[in-house]
Amino acid sequence: MLITETKLAPNLNFFISGYKIYRADDPSGSRKVGSAVIIRADLCHNELPPILEDDVQISRVQIKIDNTDYQIGSFYSTPDQRVTPTLIWGIVHEMKFRFILGGDFNSKHIRWGSNVTNPRGNMLYDQIFKLNLEIAYPFEPTHYPDSGHMPDLLDFFIGKPFQHFCSVPSVIHDLSSDHLPVLLTLSTAIPNSCNTYTS
């Protein structure tokens, strides 16, 4: 599970039986932003250091998919934070050659089904193209603003290479957040046993 906008201070903890929780809290210690990865404890994985920037928080783990190392990360950045091409390049460089990064990018572009294109969406679209990334997104809105504004699509996945084993993401009409959960299914084998796992 990739969780965004956790709003957890470092001294606030929570636990789910049978799961490990890896967090990327706001570097300033405030309760405004943050992300988390929640993964089954019996699923073979390695914790990776979070990517903590003033403008972006990414929690991440490494798992094997089809016997190949992949990083899985949860991305969050608020609309008022500054996300630049240099920052995106640095994140992609840090995530290595194979990764799936999902979350609330607060980036709108008609290419992935948003109602409009905003400057951050234009920038991210350009970087996806320049860095030869792939994108997976649902075919319906993921965000229903409390303000009554039109629903839009803000939650999706980018990475490389993954579309050969990923389904089209689907929106789950459940829970009580203004963001609906998005389900991405991997049609592949992920080992439970760590006996042969090396990072």
Here the tokens at position 191 are 């080992």
49-100 per-position pLDDT tens digit: 999 988 899 999 999 888 889 999 999 998 888 899 999 999 999 998 899 9
DSSP string computed for the chain: -EEE-----TT-----TTEEEEEE--TTS-SS--EEEEEETTS--EEEEEEE-SS-EEEEEEEEETTEEEEEEEEE--TTS---HHHHHHHHHHH-SSEEEEEE-----GGGT-SS--HHHHHHHHHHHHTT-EEE--SS--B--TT-PPPB--EEEEEES-TTTBPPPEE---SSSSB--EE--B-S---S--TT---
pTM of the model: 0.90
Give pLDDT < 50 ranges for the chain: 196-199
**Per-residue model confidence (pLDDT) at position 79:** 86
Closest-CA residue to 179 (of 120, 106, 92): 106
pLDDT of residue 199: 41
pLDDT of residue 189: 67
pLDDT recorded at residue 194: 67
